[in-house]
Amino acid sequence: MFHVRDRRTGSLFDPWAYLGPKRRKLLDRSWAGLFRKEILPHLPVEAITAAFHARLGRPSKDAYTLMGALVFQQMHDVTDEETVRQLAFNTEWHYALDLSDESDEGKYVCLRTLWTMRQLLTEKKLDQLLFDSVTTKLACVFSVDTSKQRLDSVHITSNMRRLGRIGIFVRVITGFLTNLRRREPELFATLDTSFGERYLSPKGQAVFSMVKPSESDRTLSQVTEDLFVLFRRFEKEEAVASMKTYSLLSRVFSDQCDVVMEKGRETVVAKPPKEISSGSLQNPSDPEAGYSGHKGQGYQAQIMETYVPMARATGDGGKEESGDVPLRLITHVVVEPANVSDAHALLPAIEGATRLGLAPAEVLADSLYGSDKNVVAAAEAGVEVVSPVMGQTDKSEVTMADFSFSDDGAIVACPQGHAPIIFRRKGKRRTVVFANADCLGCPKKKECPIKPVRDGYGFRYTEPALRLARRRAAQKTAAFKDRYRHRSGVESTMSAFDRLTGVKHLRVRGMKAVRFAVTLKALGVNLIRAAAAWMAGTSRNPGGNGAPGCPKGAFPVANGELACLHAAFESILVEWTNRFIRFNTPSLHEDDFVLQQAA
């Protein structure tokens, strides 16, 4: 049965008054106070009600408590056991979750309950819903300017062992044989006994774990042959082919092996490393991980954040050289295998931020994101992409950008002012030809892209090539360099992302678990930054004049004057409540009450 304690209605009396004004002030100005006042009442607990029966069963743990504890676990990078202890004894966690009751029912959760809630949120992809709801709330409260944003990726290593090619082959063969012996013992008995001796005995495993470099080629040939024998032996056995371990074995075989015919007989050889796809299976314990030739095995997270051009900030909300730094908010986070190219991440990032009402007008990104296709598509969505073009050109070279063009993309003059004698359009290709007399005596002929053609000197170009030439010319200017220098600030965000939350080395593996952890860690970075900005007194929106739908006065300031006012108001409430109870009590006559009050 679903159980949730109301967090939207305040208490008549302050249950945290026992802390004292100084400790209370510390809590109010920390991430715990921010979470309790602005985030806790808006957690999407309604999204999990369908997983519980409306009336039957034992009441679940408070959904607000469990959902908040999972956010804090990733934000502070603690284990499950430490999460249980922090929830039981940490006052900051209690204050953030509004747990004033000192009972086990309110502050204790067992590991199994924590695992169940995490699995529920992961399967329903509520980690993304949590991130979206908290991010939009913070953007509203702090009136975050989302017009300027920057995008980059960070490499993530899941909790898997690093294996070479021999290790991958041995691991999939061992896993398959173990599963086959347990599920299909009759089929396992048909195999040669040498398979069990090599892969299932401790002695055989020790041999593979201590392969000398001089014997690596021979060992690789042996395990490749064993892999081929098992693949061919059971590929037509339906009971075996449906096993997950056999599908892993089949995937490794197709990724890393080639079958060749020698003397009318099939033989198998291992593919050269250069021919192995980056999307091949890198580790049987985490089949969804990819491989990046630059960073290695694992996953990557695409991160887009807001920035302010004048800010000189650290990754966790420091201060600029003069004045306080406005809040920088992560607006988009997506987890991918490491082999996926960054070129595909720009448009989904813009669409994701736009869906939350946090659309950018300008995005800074490196050259991999800034392909011509991406830049054109982003411009159609009203977003300007500031990114250098891949490749380098000579600084003194004359490019197409130096020619004069009409509004429809036709060349009307060369850099020396000569008009072309021929201009043709054929499909997407444009052809321009200049007169021999104009080009032969030109002082910049050697640097010009023209070449001898039938009727003079000319060249062919396309509209994408023209756009790239113009971008290459623009990126040499001081104005471009001044705008693009702010992209480097995202590197400090990636550093803080790992330093504060440990995102680069996770305790989990598998796409779902990695996605859940990374998304909530990004949410945690936003909370830490927002708390730092709140404590510094910057970027606050006390009037509620932020994004559309932001409630008025949504972020009151906690200070001594408000605390005194709250205490005075509470004493008045207590006095009048006592009077009301006495006046309406039958055993106490009204005349006696008046006489007692007069006395």
At 551 the pLDDT is 43
The alpha carbon torsion through 3, 6, 11, 14 (nearest 10 deg) reads 70
Q: H-helix or E-strand containing 364?
A: strand 362-364
**CA–CA distance, 48 with 541 (Å, rounded to integer):** 31
DSSP assignments along 69-124, one per residue: HHHHHHHHT--HHHHHHHHHH-HHHHHHHT----SHHHH---HHHHHHHHHHHHHT
**CA–CA distance, 96 with 134 (Å, rounded to integer):** 14
Neighbours of 58 (CB within 10 A): 6
Both tokens of residue 532?
A: 């730092």
What DSSP designation does 159 have? Answer: S
**CA–CA distance, 540 with 55 (Å, rounded to integer):** 43
The alpha carbon torsion through 523, 525, 526, 527 (nearest 10 deg) reads 90
At 598 the pLDDT is 46
The alpha carbon torsion through 477, 478, 484, 489 (nearest 10 deg) reads 150
How would you write the pLDDT of the chain (599 residues) with one tens digit per residue?
677 777 777 677 778 888 888 998 899 889 999 999 889 988 888 888 877 767 776 777 888 899 999 999 999 999 999 999 999 999 999 999 998 888 888 899 999 999 999 999 999 899 999 999 999 999 998 989 999 999 999 999 998 877 788 888 888 999 999 999 999 999 899 998 888 888 888 766 666 666 677 778 888 888 889 888 899 889 888 888 889 999 999 988 888 888 888 777 888 888 888 788 777 777 788 888 888 877 888 999 999 999 988 644 444 544 444 345 678 999 999 999 998 999 999 999 999 999 999 999 999 999 999 999 999 999 999 999 999 998 766 555 778 888 888 888 888 888 888 898 888 888 888 899 998 888 888 888 888 888 888 888 988 888 888 888 888 888 888 999 999 999 999 999 999 999 999 999 999 999 999 999 999 999 999 999 999 888 876 444 443 334 444 543 333 333 334 444 444 455 555 555 555 555 555 544 444 444 444 44
What DSSP designation does 55 have? Answer: S
pTM given for the model: 0.79
Cβ-based burial of 534 (10 A; exposed 0-12, middle 13-18, buried ≥19): buried
**CA–CA distance, 196 with 204 (Å, rounded to integer):** 9
57 torsion bin: left (phi>0), alpha (psi -120 to 50), beta (else)? left
**CA–CA distance, 584 with 484 (Å, rounded to integer):** 72
Picking from 9, 8, 36, the residue whose alpha carbon sits closest to that of residue 531 is 36
Cβ-based burial of 230 (10 A; exposed 0-12, middle 13-18, buried ≥19): buried
CA atoms within 13 A on the CB side of 363: 34
CA distances from 503 to 8, 212, 510, 518, 529 (A): 32, 35, 15, 6, 16
Inter-residue contact 59 to 1 (CB < 8 Å): yes
What fold, for 142-160+291-388+475-558? Nucleotidyltransferase; domain 5 (3.30.420)
Inter-residue contact 547 to 143 (CB < 8 Å): yes
Both tokens of residue 47?
A: 């999204």
Residue 161 CB partners (closer than 8 Å, separation 6+)? 167, 283, 285
State whether residue 47 is helix, strand or coil. helix
Domain borders along the chain are 1-124, 142-160+291-388+475-558, 165-275, 400-466, 563-598
Inter-residue contact 134 to 524 (CB < 8 Å): no
**CA–CA distance, 280 with 308 (Å, rounded to integer):** 41
What letters, b where the CB count within 10 A reaches 16 and e where it falls short, cover 272-294? eeeeeeeebbbbbbbbbbbbbee
